[in-house]
Chains A and B, each alone.
Chain A
Amino acid sequence: MEKYDVAIIGGGSAGLAALKQLSHLGKQAILLEAGSKIGSKNLSGGILYSKKPKKGQITNVEQLYENFLDDAPIERKITKYILHSTSQDKVYSMDLTAAHDYQANFGYSVLLSKLNSWFAKQAEKAADKLGGGIIPGVHVKSITWNEQNGTSIIQTDELDEFEVKAIIAADGVNSEVAEMVGARKKFTPEQLFQGVKVIVKLPEDIINKRFGVSSDEGAAHLFAGDVTLNHIGGGFLYTNNDTISVGAVYHFDSQISNPTTPYSLIDTLLKNPMVSEFIKDDVPIKPEIDKNLPQEEQLRIRFAVAKLIKNWYEIREASLSSSGRDSLINSGKYKTVEEIQKSLSTLQEQMTEKFSLTFGTDYLEDEYGAKLVPDGKRCQMKKPYFKNILFVGDAAGRGVFVGPRIEGINVGIDDGVRAANAVARALDNDNFSENSLGEYYSKSVDESPFTTDMKQIDKDYLKIFLDAAKDVPKDIIGSRYGPILKMMSSGTMRGIAVKFANILGYDKLLPMIESEDTYVKVPIKLAERLGETVLSSYSPSIPSIADRIANLNYNDDSLAHIKVVNPTSEYMKKMVTLCPTKCYSEEGGKVIIQHEGCIDCGTCSQETEWRHPRGEKGIHYKYG
């Protein structure tokens, strides 16, 4: 049997951080990723933060990857952070940039598939030299222990079994490692958010102009009010380089008690006039091909139109981006920007004249995805270890989600580094017992400022939030928050109130704050009373869920990775509505699954036998 020092299971940001740090410390490690490529199964909102907490030490992304700010494929540095309360065509906006900047070095919008693939390159370079590395396309199916020396034997669907001394489990919110070894129970709906996201294409120059930013700056917009369809949660819109991430994130229990299809939540957001206007663009409209023409001619026209549209998008996208223009000119295809413009308009003429293509206003969606997000406040593992296995990031249920503070990737990266440090120490001492390795790591995680933020209210953060909301009329906030706000508005009282609240505990406080009042009723009132009217000039043609699934890239697994346990349970019946890719249907009172469209989000995992698909199988995100 082959032997290695450390196995990291899962190639997301946290697992990759662990590999990078272990390699930095001169320790051999292999990372196993189920996707065919690193990043192919990763999805995030997403903004990646670098933080500077007042108390405690963390490892930020730019410390772990020294060339991060120069070389990483990050999108835009978020310089505007705005919360919108909506009610139909009324929008009331609140600038929360100060909250976004709170204790932050920066926050970049990112597309996780691309970014994790870059992280992998950096980590692999270092791991190679020590006889380790990254192995994609491998799905771990069981872990057992050698009774004599305590080492773990890892079995996968793809490879011969092998032995390791320690394991870092970074296999995400639906951690199979945690379940198979019994380290924790599956997260419950109360502990989770369900998030759905679409990527909208929009040229760089248009984003700059529309959002009032330069090419390296970006804006983040959050939405609450009627766009939530009475769910506890909200929408977001982040600018990337030449795409826009539009998503909706909801407390999963709010979805369970009032099931709404995830795509209708995102569709509602896309139809909000403010969002519609943010994402609109010129699009070519294909002509109807005359069915009376000979079949060969119909086919020729279809291919010709497809080719022209493809060319048009390529040239237009390049002509509306600074790097695109440069690369077109450097390639020698064009001499000047004017020449590019001219060729674009010639192409456009050809399209309209020869093939009667027209141009209209719409938006162009390029990827649909969904994932569960663990609410760190409610589900972080108290002891994030089991025997010689350490859990990091989503797998350990960690993330800081407090109102508009949304941080997951940075927490995972910091966890990964902590786990790597603990494992490196264990290798030096040759002691992988729970008392030594596990407890050392657990203590390190406890010392993380992120852990504190998952347990307590930060009164300084609260003040920034309250300052931003100072213009909100008190009567709108209503009887529930009125006294609290009044108390919080004075410095001394705020200190006392927060102390009191923290004694009361997050558990008791959260249902009060994270309520329908906060996310739905108050924002609607705000928008109705104080909002400005925003009108949209078109109505976006939103793809059906079938079209969205058809546009995704899958490698179908002939074996189903999900088994329905009780096809008549109430929970499973709700899956017919709640599965983001409509894998479930009900026939004769029984729920059945067709797993082919599954995007491995785990929404149904609570009451199913749930596994990730085998190596290389399943969803393959382009953007993530």
Chain B
Amino acid sequence: MVVILSEPLNIAVIIKLEPDFSEGNVSYNPNGTLNRAETKNTLGPHSAIAAHAAFFGRVMYDAKVSIGTMGPPIADLALKQAQQISDAGELHLYSDRLFAGADTLGTAEVLRVGIGKMQGKMDIVFSGHRASDGETGQTGPQTAWKLGFTFLGNVISYSVDLETRMIRAKRLISLQGSSNVIEEVEAPLPVFISIDPTYKSSYNTVSQRLAFQKYQKEATQRADNYKDYFKIFNAKELGVDETLVGLPGSPTIVYKVERVPKSTATRQSEVIDGSDPEQIRKVVAKMKEALAAMVIK
């Protein structure tokens, strides 16, 4: 069974409400852009993975999970969905007209202040890898920077030593032209983790699985009454510096949006006669050439 040593673990997750791109839920305008009013919203898929990673901490270390999001009042739906996954005991929505038009930096500032309002001192903050509606994967790292936490990106698994307050994490590093590398790192808490899309929690003993079931049931009960855990903050209640949030806090200027141009095919094909050894030799030579180009120099 789970044994709680020393100080309990506090985990925060930052999430995002995103359009549901599945067929039957999404609508497009005649000009091909997304019709946001007609499209249903849901918890972003990467945010859901971050919530799963937080739940791992809940099951393994009996961690306390808090979730925060910046968004319109309807974003409470995403909080509820994330609570169902993570068994969070605290749900924060940061919502104010002042926050509108924020880029990633303006958003990171709101999240930083919001995380500060959560109960307990955070040991781990999770974010998703990126959003599905045109985000750039910067909110997480920028929030980490603002918080002053060690940033660990592309994390695929982690374990915590509660006594020494150290985290060990595996990171999936993709190198162009070569197979992926898994890097194992150790860092003192607190840390900020941006979770890799391939992250999957693994529970390897009967007792861990039983704990998993127990907390999952609790999560369902909590999510059914999510309003009991829910708190909404406006700019004033958060006490943010108004020059650092919303449009004033967002240095990014979008001056033009272009469609991704269709790439023209650059492949050149050649028909090889398989019965001719000379031709086959040519293929082998080509393959050697291609493989040699993949080696990191």
Contact = CB atoms under 8 A, between A and B. Distances in A.
B207 A304 contact: no
Contact of B23 (A124, A138, A162, A306): A306
A135 B206 contact: yes
B173 to A, nearest CB: 23
B30 A133 contact: no
Contacts of B178: none
Contacts of B24: 303, 306-307, 309-310
Interface in B196-213: 204-207, 209-210, 213
B27 A303 contact: yes
Interface string A127-159: 010011111001000000000000000000011
A162 B27 CA distance: 51
A2 interface: yes
A134 B23 contact: no
Report the contact-size class of chain B (Cβ under 8 Å from the partner).
Answer: 20 to 34
B244 interface: no
A260 to B, nearest CB: 36
Nearest to B213: A133
A120 to B, nearest CB: 10
Contact of B213 (A134, A159, A307): A134
A160 B32 CA distance: 52
B145 interface: no
A487 to B, nearest CB: 59
A79 B213 CA distance: 39
Nearest to B205: A160
B189 interface: no
A296 interface: yes
Main secondary structure of the interface of B (DSSP, over half): loop
Contact of A159 (B27, B30, B32, B209): B209
Nearest to A164: B206
A124 B31 CA distance: 53
Contact of B28 (A124, A134, A160, A303): A303
B27 A307 contact: yes
A2 B205 contact: yes
Interface string A97-137: 00000000000000000000000000010001001111100
Contacts of A160: 204-206
A4 interface: yes
B214 interface: yes
Contact of A135 (B28, B31, B38, B209): B209
Interface in A298-342: 299-300, 303-304, 306-307, 309-310
Contact of A162 (B29, B31, B206, B214): B206
A135 B205 contact: no
B206 A300 contact: no
B26 interface: yes
A2 B30 contact: no
B206 A128 contact: no
Contact of B210 (A30, A299, A309): A30
A310 B217 CA distance: 30
Interface in B6-25: 23-25
A297 interface: yes
Interface in A366-389: none
Nearest to A304: B27
B209 A300 contact: no
A307 B28 contact: no
Contacts of A307: 24-27, 38
Interface string B17-55: 000000111111111100000100000000000000000
Given A159-B205, A160-B204, A300 B210 contact: no
B206 A4 contact: yes
B30 A30 contact: no
Given A2-B206, A30-B210, A297 B27 contact: no
Nearest to B35: A300
Interface string A271-313: 0000000000000000000000000110110011011011000
A310 B24 CA distance: 6
Contacts of A131: 210
A133 B214 CA distance: 9
Given A297-B30, A307-B24, A307-B27, A2 B213 contact: no
B4 to A, nearest CB: 17
A158 B27 contact: no
Interface in A1-28: 2, 4
Contact of A300 (B32, B205, B207, B214): B32
Contacts of A300: 28-30, 32
Given A300-B30, A303-B23, A303-B27, A162 B210 contact: no
Interface of A: 2, 4, 30, 124, 128, 131-135, 138, 158-160, 162, 296-297, 299-300, 303-304, 306-307, 309-310
23 contacts: A2-B205, A2-B206, A2-B207, A4-B206, A30-B210, A131-B210, A133-B213, A135-B206, A159-B204, A159-B205, A159-B206, A159-B209, A160-B204, A162-B206, A296-B31, A296-B32, A300-B30, A300-B32, A303-B26, A306-B23, A307-B25, A307-B38, A310-B24
Given A299-B28, A307-B24, 14 more contacts: A124-B213, A133-B213, A135-B209, A159-B209, A160-B206, A300-B30, A303-B27, A304-B27, A304-B28, A306-B23, A306-B24, A307-B26, A307-B38, A310-B24
